[in-house]
Amino acid sequence: MPESCYDPATGRPRRLGAQCTTCIGKPGNLMHLRAGRLQQMVREATAQGSQGIICHQTLSYGDHPGFGPPALCAWFYERYGHLTNFIRVIERIGGFTVVDPPAEESGHGRA
């Protein structure tokens, strides 16, 4: 099951206020995703019951385990958030806690 962007300390979900350094939405395929993978991720993230795409740099098993609870990807939020029921509802009931992305990433992974 994917990690949640919900922060139990604040009772609110988190989202990044800017793209991380290797955002999947930046030109150049910085995460080396296989052909069609980004489109698949967006389809899955806009499906019923999904929170969206959680930023890979904020995952507990990623390069920044001390970052805190995971956060929604800024690129996904801006580009596709209006298609996701979870995001639309959260915006109507108080919104997200907006956090800065991790300062840097020490490695690159594959999704």
The ranges assigned to domains in the chain are: 6-99
Q: Please provide the DSSP assignment of the chain as one string.
A: -PPP-EETTTTEEEEESS--TT-TTSTT-TT-PPTTHHHHHHHHHTSTT---PBPGGGSTTSS-GGG-S--B-HHHHHHHGGG-HHHHHHHHTT-PEEEPPPS--S-----
If you average pLDDT over every residue of the chain, what do you get?
Answer: 86
Q: Is the pTM of this model over 0.75?
A: yes
Please answer whether residues 84 and 50 qualify as being in contact, where contact means their C-beta atoms are separated by less than 8 angstroms. Answer: yes
Mean pLDDT over 69-77 rounds to 95
